[in-house]
Amino acid sequence: MDWDCAHFEDEILGFSAVNSTKPGRGGGLALVVQTKHQWSDAHIEDDLDTVSSIIKQRFERITGIKTDASGYNQVHRWRYASTQNAAASEVNPYLLDESMGVSATGDWCRGSEVEDAFLSGSALAAQLISQLARG
Ligand SMILES: Cc1cc2nc3c(=O)[nH]c(=O)nc-3n(C[C@H](O)[C@H](O)[C@H](O)COP(=O)(O)OP(=O)(O)OC[C@H]3O[C@@H](n4cnc5c(N)ncnc54)[C@H](O)[C@@H]3O)c2cc1C
């Protein structure tokens, strides 16, 4: 395969990552295939075996890559993985109540991806350090 991830222009498939190419991953070929949010919403309670075969057939038809060689196959309903409304702002992507001494951070403060988690956590860390420095 000559790609590590793909965004599909398709009504069913959304995104696919070749997980085995990520740093530190061993073993054989590992693929993650996600469907479009709208399609997932419409089929969230469908039988998982039916959903699995629809996704695999679609993936094979678009990419030409066979999925039946896999020794492991699982469909998971990620009901809460996509943030619709970020909990914090782009400028301060974390929650902090200084009077109670409580803070919260995570991708959901800014979006749904790992860079949102990183930017949220590093912004909160910088804010807490600057508060400590001010005494
Ligand atoms: C199926 C899927 C595939 C993805 N693929 C990609 C990708 O290819 N590239 C990408 O950039 N992003 C991807 N993401 C998004 C990425 O995984 C998240 O954006 C990122 O993990 C969010 O990091 P986080 O630290 O905010 O939260 P998390 O990674 O969810 O970490 C939160 C941690 O808190 C722990 N926790 C929860 N409650 C408690 C509690 N009460 N006490 C103690 N611990 C608790 C949890 O166990 C977890 O370890 C994917 C997400 C999903 C669901």
Q: Per-residue pLDDT tens for 88-125?
A: 999 999 999 999 999 999 999 999 999 999 999 999 99
Residue recorded with tokens 């959901």? 108
Global pTM value: 0.82
* pLDDT, tens digit (0-9, with 9 covering 90-100), for 8-37: 999 999 999 999 999 999 888 899 999 999
- Residues paired with residue 95 on neighbouring β-strands, in sequence order: 104
**What would the mean pLDDT of 24-51 be, rounded to a whole number?**
93
pLDDT score at 70:
65
Which helix (H) or strand (E) element contains residue 31? strand 31-35
Residues with CB under 6 A from ligand 1: 17, 32, 78, 81, 106-107, 112-114, 117
Q: Which ligand 1 atom is at minimum distance from the Cα of 115?
A: 11
**Distance of alpha carbon 109 from alpha carbon 125, whole angstroms:** 14
d(CA 75, CA 34): 10
Q: Give the domain ranges of the chain.
A: 5-63, 95-134
C-alpha 90 to ligand 1 mean position (Å): 19
